[in-house]
Structure 1
């Protein structure tokens, strides 16, 4: 039965649980229909107001989910509740398991070459026989993007995972996502490093308490303390504003799917 989306911070989020997300992904695989997954956290809520590319990339998603526990808590405070946090890395792992069970193929795009090799080795241990249709590191130049997109399209992959940071991920998807002929597209950020064993994810207790950001802060205090202080403070202020004056739904600045106009302008900056 269709669920009613919740409008939060100007974006429509899906009030789904993990099993419902994976079921929709399975349907997309069976029907070979494109499903672009997006996740929202506090940092994105803050940054999308000044970053048109980030905002448009979120609006372009076929399914937008609450990646941060802070988004779930805010949804309940605002009277537009989401049932649970759906972390991007958890979706990644669930989809890998689905691909393994059903013999679906994946394409890995992102990270450094050595990290990518470590990731694939670990995935083959965890999911023996997992079909990897192709892979490419994330350190490529803008003028190489079209060739990589052609390689992904030719691979026949069922799922594309992008282990790249913003805005490179959004630029690539905005320019080529509609032409890749891959049903499931999911930007997983730093998840490649975690599953490759390079970095550690916060313990489950920290995750449930919504304190993954604090765990990362403890690992890199000098680099992250100011970013988290600024972002968390801004998010609290935006939540207070949302409580008094709910934001209207954002509209795309311009279409970025396929044409890549906005993406191309960002690449040339």
Structure 2
């Protein structure tokens, strides 16, 4: 069912009571010839996934939404999209809750409130037969409940004292993401993105661990490089850039 969002009548939104995965449906739409600019909104998600195919608990009451965009950028700039997504969701949370920087950003795209994770973001991309590149940006936001996670503490907005319904949350996210994509694609958009992301970052200048499939490394988090990778100062003073991994602070959050 297509629905209209108050204040954003131009949006194309396919809303379903239950889905397997909003990301999967958005990617299927791309392969079927959708021109992009499509939102898939699920009331309940029974096959949700996080990074590295980790399952994500997706019971009713939280926000589950995926956005399909075609050819959003070229080359190295695609690596910045997780930062765009996280910053847009963080700003949307402020709009929902009437706050400023309530949710801090943990590289690359986690949102933390008092060290607890309140969201999941998963970006997936594929090349289409016509040569276009389809990118799906999947968002999960804990509004009224949260999962028990093995490696992280989690929280939800209701438990933090903020009452937000799914419709309100989606409208805030859709508007915020639209503004962020326009800004990112504008003049000096990448520089503005890096500055705005780092202004909301947690752990800057502090010791962190970065876990990979093959092991882990540690050092001082020194911000982002020009394409959005994490800059890590190693014990020997070397400055290296990390393109993928799970970040942990001293408290394990």
Length-normalised TM-score, structure 2? 0.30
Task: Return the structure number with greater helix share.
Answer: 1
Return the structure number with greater strand share: 2
Instruction: Provide TM-score, normalisation by structure 1.
Output: 0.28
Structure number with the bigger relative contact order (C-alpha 8 A, sep ≥ 6) is 1
